[in-house]
C-alpha cells in the first residue's frame, strides 16, 4: 500500500522510470519518448537563442545532436538532426539580420552540420540497430551474466578459492575466463580455466560465446565429456583462430582427492606442505578446437590440509623474451614468495610480479585450510 501511495504522490518519477525502462528495452515507445524530450530541449534552446544569443549561440545546438547520438536509433536521430539544423540555421540568420553579418556565425553553423553528419554516419554503420549507450549497456550486461557463472560458489568450511585476472591493455573483455560449479550436496567442486586464442575484441567475444557454452554444460557432463563438447563446439565455429586451451579440475571436498585434465594449457601446480614446494602436474593434452578426437591425459592427487592447487594462463609464464619452460620455473619461485605472506591475496601478488604484455593473465588458487591445531 505504501509503495502505491508513493507512486501516486510522485507521478513525474513514475513517468520517468517507465520511459527509462522502455528505452532500455529498445522499443519504439522508448525512442519516441527520448526524441520528444530532445525536441523540447531544442525548442527551448531556439527561443533562448533568439532572445539571448550571447548565452545560447549556434554552437550550443550541437548538444542535443550529441545526446541523440548516444540515446537514439538512426531514424529518430535523423529526424532530430533535421529539426536541430533548421533551428540553428534560423537562429544564425535572425541574429545576422538584426546585428549584421559575422563570418564566425556561418562557421558555427557549419560545425553543427558537420557534427550531425558524423553522428548520422556513425549511427547508420551501427550493425546492432541500437544507440551507442544502449548497445554498450546490453553488451556489458551479457558479459556480467556470463562472468557470474565463473564465480566460484561459496565453499564448505575448510576450503578457500581465490582468483585474479588482468586483461591485456586494461580492456573490459578478455580471452581468459573461469567456469565453476559446486554440486548440490556440496561434495564436489568443478572448475575450468580457459584461454581463448587471439587478442583484443575478437578474443573477448569468442570467450563470451565459449563461456556460455561451457557454463551450460559444466556439472552435467563428466570432465572428458565436457572437453569433448567444448572441442566440437569450437570446430563448428568459423573463427580465424578457433582453438582454446583449458585446464579442468574436479575436487572431492570431503577427502581432498582431485583429478586434473589438461587441454594444451600450462600445467597446474600442487603446493606440497611437507616439501614446501610447488610441484608441476603431469596432465597434458591437445588444445580444444584443433582435431576431432584429441587425447587428454589427466593426473590425480590428494590435497592435504594446508596444501593448494594453482592454475594460470600462459600470459603469466610466457612472454616474447621468456619461453614456457623457463616461465614455469620462474612462476614456482614467484608463487613461493607470494604465499609466504599467506594464501589470501596470493593470486594478485603473483600477477603483480609479472610484466603487463600483449596477452591476458589469470591465476587461480584453491586452498585447503590447515586443520585446527596443526
User: Minimal CA–CA distance to 48: which of 56, 40, 36?
Assistant: 56
Q: How many domains does the chain have?
A: 2
Residue 143 lies in a domain: no
Query: 350-361 pLDDT, tens per residue?
Result: 988 887 766 778
Q: Is the pLDDT reported for residue 4 higher than 50?
A: no
Q: Which of 107, 136, 165 is the last residue of a domain?
A: 136
Residue 6 lies in a domain: yes
Q: Is the pLDDT reported for residue 87 higher than 80?
A: yes
| Same domain assignment for residues 9 and 121 | yes
Q: Which of these ranges, 76-85, 155-164, 191-200, 276-285, has the smallest mean pLDDT?
A: 191-200
| Same domain assignment for residues 80 and 175 | no
Q: Which of these ranges, 76-90, 233-247, 329-343, has the smallest mean pLDDT?
A: 233-247
Q: Which of 103, 136, 169 is the last residue of a domain?
A: 136
| Same domain assignment for residues 24 and 161 | no
| Same domain assignment for residues 53 and 199 | no
Residue 14 lies in a domain: yes
| Same domain assignment for residues 70 and 180 | no
| Residue 189 lies in domain | 149-368
Spatial contact of 350 and 363, defined as CB atoms under 8 Å apart: yes
| Same domain assignment for residues 183 and 302 | yes
| Same domain assignment for residues 106 and 27 | yes
Residue with cell 600450462: 266
| Same domain assignment for residues 172 and 288 | yes
Query: 179-189 pLDDT, tens per residue?
Result: 899 999 999 99
Reported pTM:
0.69
30 vs 255 pLDDT, higher one: 255
309 vs 132 pLDDT, higher one: 309
pLDDT of residue 59: 85
pLDDT of residue 139: 64
CATH number where 232 lies: 3.60.40.10
pLDDT of residue 160: 94
User: Minimal CA–CA distance to 359: which of 204, 214, 235?
Assistant: 204
Confidence of residue 135 (pLDDT cuts 50, 70, 90): low
pLDDT of residue 6: 43
| Same domain assignment for residues 100 and 178 | no
Helices (H), the chain: 2-9, 11-25, 28-51, 62-71, 74-99, 104-124, 132-148, 200-215, 223-236, 314-317, 324-339, 346-352
Spatial distance between the Cα atoms of 169 and 356, rounded to a whole number of angstroms? 8
Q: What single string gives the DSSP state of each residue in 216-262?
A: TTBTTB-HHHHHHHHHHHHHHS--TT--EEEEEEEEETTT-EEEEEE
Confidence of residue 131 (pLDDT cuts 50, 70, 90): low
Q: What percent of the chain has pLDDT over 90?
A: 33
Query: 98-122 pLDDT, tens per residue?
Result: 666 665 567 788 888 998 888 888 8
Amino acid at each position: 500500500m505504501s509503495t502505491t501511495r508513493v507512486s501516486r504522490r510522485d507521478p513525474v518519477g513514475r513517468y520517468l522510470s517507465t520511459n527509462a525502462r522502455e528505452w532500455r528495452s529498445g522499443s519504439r515507445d522508448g525512442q519516441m519518448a527520448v526524441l520528444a524530450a530532445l525536441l523540447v530541449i531544442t525548442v527551448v534552446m531556439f527561443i533562448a537563442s533568439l532572445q539571448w544569443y550571447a548565452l545560447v549561440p549556434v554552437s550550443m545546438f550541437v548538444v542535443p545532436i550529441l545526446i541523440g547520438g548516444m540515446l537514439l536509433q538512426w531514424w529518430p536521430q535523423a529526424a532530430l538532426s533535421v529539426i536541430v539544423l533548421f533551428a540553428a540555421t534560423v537562429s544564425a540568420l535572425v541574429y545576422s539580420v538584426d546585428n549584421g553579418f559575422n563570418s564566425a556565425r556561418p562557421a558555427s553553423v557549419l560545425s553543427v552540420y558537420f557534427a550531425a553528419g558524423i553522428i548520422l554516419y556513425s549511427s547508420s554503420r551501427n550493425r546492432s540497430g541500437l544507440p551507442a549507450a544502449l548497445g554498450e549497456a546490453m553488451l556489458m550486461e551479457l558479459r556480467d551474466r556470463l562472468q557470474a557463472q565463473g564465480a566460484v560458489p561459496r565453499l564448505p568450511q575448510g576450503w578457500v578459492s581465490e582468483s585474479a585476472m588482468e586483461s591485456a591493455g586494461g580492456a573490459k573483455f578478455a580471452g581468459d575466463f573461469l567456469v565453476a560449479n559446486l554440486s548440490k550436496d556440496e561434495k564436489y567442486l568443478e572448475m575450468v580455466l580457459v584461454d581463448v586464442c587471439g587478442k583484443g575484441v575478437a578474443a573477448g567475444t569468442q570467450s563470451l560465446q565459449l563461456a556460455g557454452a561451457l557454463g551450460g554444460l559444466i556439472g552435467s557432463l563428466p570432465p572428458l565429456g565436457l572437453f569433448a563438447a567444448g572441442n566440437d563446439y569450437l570446430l563448428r565455429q568459423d573463427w580465424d583462430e578457433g582453438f582454446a586451451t583449458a585446464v579442468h579440475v574436479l575436487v572431492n571436498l570431503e577427502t581432498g582427492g582431485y583429478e586434473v585434465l589438461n587441454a594444451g594449457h600450462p600445467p597446474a601446480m600442487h603446493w606440497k606442505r611437507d616439501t614446501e614446494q610447488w610441484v608441476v602436474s603431469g596432465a597434458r593434452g591437445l588444445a580444444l578446437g584443433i582435431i576431432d578426437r584429441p587425447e587428454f591425459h589427466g593426473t590425480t592427487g590428494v590435497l592435504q590440509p594446508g596444501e593448494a592447487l594453482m592454475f594460470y594462463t600462459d600470459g603469466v609464464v610466457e612472454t616474447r623474451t621468456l619461453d614456457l619452460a623457463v616461465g614455469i620455473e620462474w612462476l614456482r619461485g614467484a608463487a613461493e614468495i607470494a604465499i609466504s605472506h599467506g594464501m589470501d591475496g596470493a593470486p594478485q601478488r603473483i600477477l603483480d610480479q609479472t610484466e603487463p604484455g600483449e596477452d591476458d593473465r589469470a591465476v587461480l588458487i584453491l586452498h585447503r585450510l590447515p586443520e585446527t591445531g596443526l
